Amino acid sequence: MQLKKAREIDETTHTGRPKIRQVTQGHRFDVELVRVTKSYNAKSKAVDDISLRIPRSSYCCLLGPSGCGKSTTLRMLAGHEEVTDGAILIQDTEITTLPPVDRGTSMMFQDYALFPHLSALDNVAFSLKVRKVSKAERDRQAREYLELVQMDHLANRLPNELSGGQQQRVALARSLITRPKVLLLDEPLSALDPFLRTRMRAELKRIQKELGITFVHVTHSQEEAMALSDIMVVMNDAKIMQAGPAREVFETPANAFVARFIGGHNVLMSEGREVSVRADACRIGAMPGMRGASGTVTMVEYKGPFVQVSMTSDTGDDLTATMTDAEYFAAAPQIGDTVAVSWDPKAEHVLS
């Protein structure tokens, strides 16, 4: 089937800033991985038989611990790494063996890799120059993308005259000017300080929504993935543990790994079954009609809106409960205290 594709530039928004939006039609998924495997050597698999569908215009985060196969997955999408087995589709077109430039993907690299002798504008315009677009037109488009990332006022600076965060914005504009169907980002925020990281995170989300293209963003931070994801893919040990909306993953983790990795959950045995219970559903103190455990307090942390109490349970499991600050200041548990923890059985979620 020939896909109908339309790209349009909508010149006006209420902010007066040019708005660039790519509209694509006729497909449901921007990315499909069909039983994809990657073996770098005969002994082990970096990615083991994963399947995934990313709906149109999604912010997708690949989340998991170091070495679980996130970057390998991204590099196979980009075409920087060969697939050992399986197939990859972008907007219904199989691209498994296509060279990177023919896939409709664009990768934003962690080290930004800007040309040091070119201005921000010329860095962004570079790929259009390669495609023999006229100077006037490529400068116009480059300015538009610099505006999108709020860097138009520094268009003439060289990379070494820009901060790390600013260089990253230029790199982002440079990846987007090729009008990719899918933008790939490998730990794009890890080099930034915590303040800039949260700000840039919001910017990425805004830009993704504004452009309407799918972003696939690799991170090992569950907080980052929760904040950004329309679809969150939790990986471990070369496999996908769970994929779905962030809220669904948080509320119904598929297994103990997911519950522990995304945090905020206790994993425990209840009536012979392994269950997760959100830490914010666990209270300090015994309560009639509630399920309970007891533990020895190992840590008490003031978090502002609440106080987090960490314990080791009688069965040797880690256990976390939250207290309101009023509850805490009325009766503060001390490290080494043995305390009861209660939760509503209805808050239990059975793990597989």
Do the Cβ atoms of 245 and 236 come closer than 8 Å?
no
CB of 191 to ligand ADP, least distance (A): 15
Q: Which one-letter DSSP state was computed for residue 307?
A: E
Give the binding site for ligand ADP (CB under 6 A): 40, 46, 64, 66-72
Q: How many residues bind Mg ion (CB under 5 A)?
A: 1
Taking the least distance from each CB to ligand ADP, the nearer of 64 and 79 is 64
Nearer to ligand ADP, 77 or 309 (CB): 77
- Which among ligand ADP, Mg ion, none contacts residue 66 (Cβ within 5 to 8 A by kind)? ligand ADP
- Check: CB of residue 51 under 8 Å from CB of residue 87: no
- Phi and psi at 197, nearest 5°, equal -60, -45
Nearer to ligand ADP, 187 or 327 (CB): 187
Collapse the DSSP code of 63 into the 3-class scheme (helix H, G, I; strand E, B; otherwise coil) and give the result: strand
Out of ligand ADP, Mg ion, none, which partner does residue 160 contact, by CB within 5 to 8 A per kind?
A: none
- Give the Cα separation of 290 and 85 in Å (integer): 50
- Cβ neighbours of residue 348 under 8 Å, at least 6 residues apart? 270, 275, 276, 277, 291
Residue 71 as a binder of Mg ion (CB under 5 A): the answer is yes
The item of Mg ion, ligand ADP, none sharing an interface with residue 278, based on CB under 5 to 8 Å by kind, is none
CA distances from 82 to 60, 86, 102, 306 (A): 22, 11, 15, 48
Q: Which is nearer to ligand ADP, 40 or 329 (CB)?
A: 40
HSE-CB at 319 with a 13 A cutoff on CA atoms is 26
Stretch that binds Mg ion, among 66-74, 81-89, 249-257, 331-339 (CB under 5 A): 66-74
Taking the complex as a whole, how short is the minimal distance between the CB of residue 67 and Mg ion, in angstroms?
A: 8
Alpha carbons within 13 A on the beta-carbon side of 19: 14
From the list Mg ion, ligand ADP, none, partner contacted by residue 352 (C-beta under 5 to 8 A by kind): none
Task: Pick the closer one to ligand ADP by CB: 77 or 297.
Answer: 77
> Which does residue 67 bind out of Mg ion, ligand ADP, none, counting CB within 5 to 8 angstroms by kind?
ligand ADP
In the complex with ligand ADP, the residue whose CB is nearer, 66 or 334, is 66
Does residue 24 bind Mg ion (CB under 5 A)? Answer: no
Q: H/E element holding 19? A: strand 19-24
Instruction: Closer to Mg ion by CB, 144 or 186: give it.
Output: 186
Residue 46's binding partner out of Mg ion, ligand ADP, none, with CB under 5 to 8 Å set by partner kind: ligand ADP
CB of 122 to Mg ion, least distance (A): 30
Using the contact rule CB under 5 A, the part of the chain among 67-75, 125-133, 227-235, 339-347 near Mg ion is 67-75
Q: Which is nearer to Mg ion, 188 or 264 (CB)?
A: 188
Please, which residue, 46 or 148, has the CB nearer to ligand ADP? 46
- For residue 219, state whether it binds Mg ion (rule: CB under 5 A): no
Q: Give how far Cα 169 sits from Cα of 120, 146, 197, 199, 223, Å.
A: 10, 8, 12, 12, 22
Q: Distance (Å, rounded) from C-alpha 76 to C-alpha 97?
A: 10
Give the one entry of ligand ADP, Mg ion, none that residue 40 binds, where binding means its C-beta sits below a cut-off of 5 to 8 angstroms depending on kind.
ligand ADP
Neighbouring CB atoms inside 10 A of 83's CB total 18
* End-to-end CA, the chain: 40
Q: Which does 2 bind (CB under 5 to 8 A by kind): Mg ion, ligand ADP, none?
A: none
Tell me how far apart the alpha carbons of residues 103 and 106 are, in angstroms, rounded to a whole number.
8
φ/ψ (deg, to 5) at 34: -115, 105
Residue type (1 letter), 338: T
Name the residues that contact Mg ion, by CB under 5 A. 71
